[in-house]
């Protein structure tokens, strides 16, 4: 009876947030127990956008399966494709040309910036400020145009293929990226003026959604969310792939462990990504953009695991191969899934408004969680 009324025996309200809710950014369904305005329990219900990508991939060839991953974390679709390509290349023991490596890394970092820009706007919207969303989209549009010109799509690229990249760079690529860098550098102060420095924003995020380093590791929180708690988990530093071991960049960590720390990690990470692109953009070597591969790829028997750092954290692609043309089993270790599992710990004890700030700074992308 009490369940029917949406309350429990302690007089708490049980509320369904989602699957259609403005701040769940998709079809996440949270059942939250509220005591007044205070959150007592958060229970995620998943599966509203589960497409069974892992099962589908079992019937797709090694060239085909990576395009589906663009639809996982659609904001860093490039990096997802990259992870798949890396896993396949690991299996084939393929050396990819230097030019392709440069292109991949530059595009990865552009994707990371674009993703963080969107996150910034969406977070501000979660907290009730609409205007930042439009400012962030203005700059993101420039990245999208670069992507469109070189990769042929704006969101779901499928540009990185096993062995290299699909096409060569567009002739205007370097020029456009430099214009973007200059433009974004002159605009990033607006981000700080409008949101970072704003006293209301700081009050809304400081001390909210706290998680300690030990818990962050235990929950497997990676990416900016984990680094906000001081967990050094940047795959680019720990297990460098492609060119990352030759690049000079800083692994951003903050000790705060709260929503504001996670926010600052992302803001500072955008600057580091720009720094990486600047190191590479003038030095792209000439040469092939794709290694010679057979028309039909066959991976040897065994299992292959590749890890990359997406905009949300560590993405793992685990391929179990039986030696055929299709994977026997594929597992995607998606960053959002592990980050979400910590949500209950982060949100309990806070107010309802804090839950939105917490979810916003975890940067959840629901198709990434559901896969």
Partner 1 sequence: MTNEELKLKIEELLPGFAFEEGTEWLTLNMEAEGFKPFALQLRNNESLKFDYLFCLTAVDWKTHFSVVYHLTSTDIRHTLVVKVKLDKNDPAVETVCDIWRTAEFHEREAYDLMGISFTGHPDLRRLFLEDDHVGFPLRKDYEDPINMIKL
Partner 2 sequence: MFLKEYFKTVYQTISSLLTGMRLTGYYFTHTKEIITQQYPETKPVLADRFRGEVIMPHNETNEHRCTGCTACELACPNGTIKIVTKNEINAEGKKKKAIDTFVYRLELCTMCNLCVQACPSDAIIMSNAFEHSVYDRRLLTKVLNKPGSKIMEGVE
Partner 3 sequence: MFSLEKLVSIIQAWLQSTLRDPWAYVVVCVMVGVAAIALFAILGLMLVYMERKVAAHMQIRLGPNRVGPMGLFQTTADTLKLVMKEGLTPDGADKFLFNLAPFMVMIAAMLILAPIAFAKNFQIWDISIGVLYVAAVSSVAVIGILMAGWSSNNKYSLLGAMRSAAQIVSYELSAGLSILAIVILSGSLKISDIINSQADGWWIIKGHIPVIIAFIVFIIAVTAETNRAPFDLAEAESELTAGFHTEYSGMKFALFFLAEYINIFIGCAIGATIFLGGWMPFHIGNWEAFNHVMDFIPSSLWFIGKTVFLIFLIMWFRWTFPRLRVDQLLNLEWKYLLPISMVNLLVVTLMAIMGWHL
Shortest distance (Å) from residue 352 CB to partner 3: 6
**148 is a contact residue toward partner 2 (CB under 8 A):** yes
Write out the binding residues for partner 2, residues 16-55 only, by CB under 8 A: none
d(CA 257, CA 226) in angstroms, rounded, equals 8
- Residue from 25, 33, 65, 267 in contact with partner 2 (CB under 8 A): 65
- Residue from 31, 188, 320, 348 in contact with partner 1 (CB under 8 A): 320
- Residue from 16, 20, 131, 218 in contact with partner 2 (CB under 8 A): 131
Which does residue 215 bind out of partner 3, partner 1, partner 2, none, counting CB within 5 to 8 angstroms by kind?
Answer: partner 1
Count CB neighbours of 76 within 10 A: 27
Write out the binding residues for partner 2, residues 66-95 only, by CB under 8 A: 67-68
List alpha helices for the chain, DSSP H: 2-5, 53-57, 65-69, 77-92, 98-126, 131-151, 173-191, 199-205, 213-218, 223-227, 235-238, 259-281, 335-341, 343-347, 352-362, 366-370
**190 is a contact residue toward partner 2 (CB under 8 A):** yes
- In the DSSP assignment, the letter for residue 94 is P
Which does residue 298 bind out of partner 3, partner 1, partner 2, none, counting CB within 5 to 8 angstroms by kind?
Answer: none
**132 is a contact residue toward partner 1 (CB under 8 A):** no
20 vs 131, beta carbon nearer partner 2: 131
By CB atoms closer than 10 A (0-12, 13-18, 19+), residue 203 is: exposed
Which does residue 90 bind out of partner 1, partner 2, partner 3, none, counting CB within 5 to 8 angstroms by kind?
Answer: partner 1
150 vs 358, beta carbon nearer partner 2: 150
- Residue from 124, 177, 181, 330 in contact with partner 3 (CB under 8 A): 124
159 close to 150: Cβ distance less than 8 angstroms:
yes
d(CA 116, CA 79) in angstroms, rounded, equals 14
User: How, if at all, do strands 302-309 and 314-321 pair?
Assistant: antiparallel
Shortest distance (Å) from residue 174 CB to partner 1: 35
8 vs 64, beta carbon nearer partner 3: 8
Q: Is 83 helix (H, G, I), strand (E, B) or coil?
A: helix
């Amino acid at each position: 009876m009490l369940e029917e009324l949406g309350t429990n025996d302690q007089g708490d309200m049980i509320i369904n947030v989602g699957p259609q809710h403005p701040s769940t950014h998709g079809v996440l369904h949270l059942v939250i127990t509220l005591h007044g305005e205070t959150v007592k329990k958060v229970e995620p219900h998943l599966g509203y956008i589960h497409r069974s990508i892992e099962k589908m991939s079992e019937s797709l060839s090694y060239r085909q399966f990576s395009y589906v991953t663009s639809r996982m974390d659609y904001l860093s679709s490039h990096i997802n494709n990259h992870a798949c390509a890396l896993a396949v290349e690991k299996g084939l023991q393929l050396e990819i040309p230097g030019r392709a490596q440069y292109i991949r890394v530059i595009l990865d970092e552009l994707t990371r910036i674009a993703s963080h820009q969107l996150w910034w706007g969406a977070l501000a919207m979660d907290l009730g400020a609409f205007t930042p969303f439009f400012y962030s989209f203005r700059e993101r549009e420039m990245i999208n145009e670069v992507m469109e010109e070189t990769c042929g799509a704006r969101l779901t690229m499928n540009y990185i293929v096993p062995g290299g990249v699909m096409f060569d760079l567009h002739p205007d690529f370097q020029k456009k990226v430099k214009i973007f860098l200059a433009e974004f550098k002159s605009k990033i102060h607006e981000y700080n003026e409008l949101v970072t420095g704003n006293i209301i924003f700081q009050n809304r995020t400081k001390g909210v959604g706290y998680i300690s380093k030990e818990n962050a590791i235990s929950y497997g929180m990676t990416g900016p969310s984990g680094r906000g708690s001081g967990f050094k988990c940047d795959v680019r530093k720990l297990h460098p792939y492609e060119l990352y071991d030759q690049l000079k960049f800083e692994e951003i960590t903050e000790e705060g462990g709260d929503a504001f720390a996670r926010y600052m990690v992302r803001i500072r990470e955008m600057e580091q990504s720009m720094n990486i692109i600047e190191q590479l953009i003038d030095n792209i070597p000439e040469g092939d953009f794709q290694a010679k591969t057979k028309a039909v790829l066959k991976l040897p028997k065994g299992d292959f695991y590749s890890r990359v750092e997406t905009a949300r954290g560590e993405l793992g692609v685990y391929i179990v191969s039986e030696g055929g043309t299709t994977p026997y089993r594929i597992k995607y270790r998606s960053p959002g899934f592990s980050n979400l599992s910590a949500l209950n710990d982060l949100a309990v004890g806070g107010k309802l408004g804090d839950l939105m700030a917490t979810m916003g700074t975890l940067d959840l992308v629901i198709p990434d969680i559901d896969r």
